[in-house]
Structure 1
C-alpha cells in the first residue's frame, strides 16, 4: 500500500478482519481493504503533524499526533467522533495511546516521562498522571480487565501500575537499552518488550518475573511487537528493515519459516506489526511509505507493497482573496504560495517559490499585480503575480514573520514577528519606513490596518497576557489603548468597514467585538460550543 507521502508509523486491524487502518508522518490516517490493497476510506485529515499511533476498539479508531492532540474516528464512515482533544497536562509529544478493553478509557505515554488516563466520552484527563519514569514513555497498554497499566520508557524499564491508585505494583522490569515497544498476550498473563538494542524479552505480567532474559534478535532497535490472537506467536518490527516471527510457547525459537530467516522486503525501518484476527497473516508499516501483508506460516509477502499515502499535501497556513474575489492566494508549510481560480477551484500557473520555511501570511497588492508573502525564514517577498518573479530583494526581519497587512491604498506594509517587533515598509520599493513602534514583549500574532489607513491594530501575547494595541499608522506612535482582550492568544484581527469596531478571534474559542472609537467597549459574542477560531471574515462579509 503506497499512498502515504512519508513514513507509515502504525497499523491496526479492524474487527471485521478485512480492513486495516494506518497512520503516517504525512498527518493522515487511511483505511484499507486488505484483499484489494485499495484505500476504502480516507485519507482522514485533521492532524497537523505526524500521527504516531492508531489503536482500535470496536468501530472507533483513536489516533495520537505530534500536534499534541488525539482524535477518535468512526471506522465505518471515517468521520470524526471526538476531538481534537488537546492532551492538557502532557508537556511533550505523546508517542502512544491505547484503549481499555471496554473502550471507555485511553492511556497515553509522553516524552514528558508521564502516563495519563483519559475518559473517551468527554476527552477529559482522569486523575493524576502516573509518574516514576526518568525518561520519555514510548509505549503503553491496559490489562484486559483495565485494572493495570503497562508502560515502557527510554529509561530502559517497563513499569506495571495500578490504574486506580497510580502506584507501581512491582519493581521496574529492566532491559539493557531503551524499551520502545511492549505488547500484552491475549490472556493478559505475559508481556513482551522490545528495545533499541535489538533485544526482545518476555515477562510474567502479574508478577513481573522474567520468563526469558533479554536476547538479541535484530541488528537494530525493535520498534514494534505483537502477539498472535492465540498467543503462540510473536512478531517483531525492527529498524534493521526486517520482521521477526517467534514461537512464544516455550523455547522462544524463531518460528519455522523458509530458511529460518526474518521477513524481508521493506527498504526502511519497520515501525509496527499486527496480526490478522485469524493469526495467519501479519501486516507491517514502514518508513519506506508502504504497508505489506505477510503469510505468518511461510513468511512470504501476500499483499503489497501497499501504497496509499503518496498524495501528501502540506498544511495550508494562510489564504487571501484578490480584490475582485476571483482569485485566492494560499501559503503553505511546503514553503510556497499558490494562486487559485475561485470559480473552478483550479490552480493558476506554477507556485511561487523562494521561501525557505513555512509561509505564514499572504496578500494581493493593488490591482492584483503583486503578491506579498511572509515566512518563518524571516523574510517578506514581493512577487509579480503573473510572472512569479521576485520584485526587489526580500525584506528581512530578525525573526519569524508571523503576520502582515497592506494599507488600503497599497502603499505601506506592516509586519509582526515572533520577536515582538512591528515594522513598516514601503510596499512599492521595499524600503523600511522608520517608525517608533514599541516592540511587544511577546510574539505579534496579528496586525490590521483601519479602513482609512490611519490606525494599525496589533495582537500579542505579552508575558502570557494577550493584548490588542493601537498605533498611529503615520507616526508609529502608540495610541494608549493596550488592554487584556482574551484568556488565550488572539489569532486574527479585522476592522469593520467603517473602522469603528474591531473583531478579534482567539484560541480561547471566543470572538470578541470591540468599540474602537474611544471607550474600547467590548461587545461579547458567546458560544459555549464554539471551536477554536483562527480566521476572521473579510470586510465584505460584515
Structure 2
C-alpha cells in the first residue's frame, strides 16, 4: 500500500478487519481496503502538522480519532468522511489518543505532560489530568470507563479517577521508559512493560507492586493477561515469548522458535493456547500449559482476511489476500488443501455443522461450496451483482443464505443449486443474518435500524422488530429459538420475544379486523381480532386513548411498529 508522501506514524485495522487506517507526517489520514490493498480515500485538509496516531472507535468502527503535532485531536466519520469534532486544549504535540470502550469519550496525552478527557458528542473537555514529568507514552481507559491509566518517559505509571479528574495512584519502580500499560480483565490489576527489560504487576486498589517479572534480554514491549487473569504472556525484541504465573511471579514457560522480533502474543479465548506473530513472517500456536509449539501455522507474508476452526477443532481454514482459502490440520500444521477459484478478495468462509463442506463468499459476487475431504469445488452460486459479505449453512446443511450489497438475502437449496427465496425489505446495508436453531427461520439486521424475522421456506417476513435508534450490529437466537438478543450503535442491548403464534398453524389473517363497536356517550369502544400467525405489522399505526394494555403488550405494539 503506497500513497503517503512521508514517514508513516500509525496504522490500525478496523474492528471488523475489512479496512486499514493510516496516518503520516504528510498530514493525511488514508483509508485502505484490507483485502485488495487499494486506497479508498484520503482525509486531508484538517490537521496542520504531522499526524502522530489514529484509532477506530472500538464499538463499531464508524469513527476515527486522530492526534497531531498541531496540538489538536480530531474525530472523523468513516462513512461520510467528514470531520465531526476538533478537540483543542493541548499546548504541545499530541502523541496518543484513544476512545473509551463505549465510544462516548476520548482520552489524549501530549508532550505538554498532560492528559485530557473529552466528550465525543459535544467536543467539550471534561477533565485535565496533570502530574507526569515527561512525555506520556500510552493512555487507556479502564474496562468500566471510571479510570484512566497512563505511562511515561518519566518512568512512572499513574492511575487517574475520571469523575474527579485527579490522580489516584502513582506507581514507581521502572528504571527506564515505560512503553505500555494494560488493565486486567476484571480491572483489579495493571501490568506495565518497560525498556528496563522488566514487566511489573500492580494492584489497582492499593497501588502496590505485586510482582516483578524479569527474564527478557531486551525491552519488553507487550504483555497480555489470560482470560481468567491468572497468567501473563509477554513478548520482546529478544525473539522470545514468556508465560508467567501472576500469583507466584514465576516464569512458567519460555517459548522459542521465532527468528526475529516477536511483535504480538496473546492467549486464546479459553486460555489453552498462545498465538504469536513475528517479523520473521510466521504465525505460531503454542500450548499454554506445556509451552510446546503446536504448529507453525503460516510461513508466508500474505495477509489473512478470515480464519475459522472446523466444528471438531481438528482443522483450520484461512482466507488469504491472494483470493485463496487454505485448509490445514490444526495439530500438525500440515496444509491439506488450497481452494482456488475466486477471482477477487474472499471476505470469509465457514464450515457446515457436520464439517463436511465449506462455504466461501467473495467480492467477485459468487458463493462457492467446497468438499472438505477432497478439496474439490462442488457448486458455484451467483444471484447478485454485488460483493457477498456473509453466507451461512442451515443447521442441517440443506440450505444456505447469503447477504450482499444489494440489501437482500438470498436462500439457496443446495441439493438442486437453485435459489429458492429472495428476502426483501431492508432499506440499507444488511449487517448480518443467522438461521434459527431448527433452520426454519432467518433473522436479519441492518443499518436501517431494524431486525426482521423471515420464514426460511416461504421467504415471508414474519416480524419486523423496531426500536433501535441506530444501526444494528449483531443479533443472536436463544438456544431454544424463542428469543432474540440484539445490540446496536445506539449503545443498547435489547431482548426480543418471538411471537409464539408464528410457530402455530398458518393463517391468511395478518391484520387487525374490527369485530364489534359500542357507542357509549360519544365514546366509541372497538373490539379487535388480531391475526398474528404470519406476523402482525403495526407500522405507522398511532394508538391514542387506549385502555387495558399491559406494559408488555404495549412493548409488543411498539416492537411491531406502532406508537403511542
Q: Return the structure number with greater relative CO, CA threshold 8 A, min gap 6.
A: 1
TM category, shorter: 0.3 to 0.5
TM-score (ref. length: structure 2): 0.43
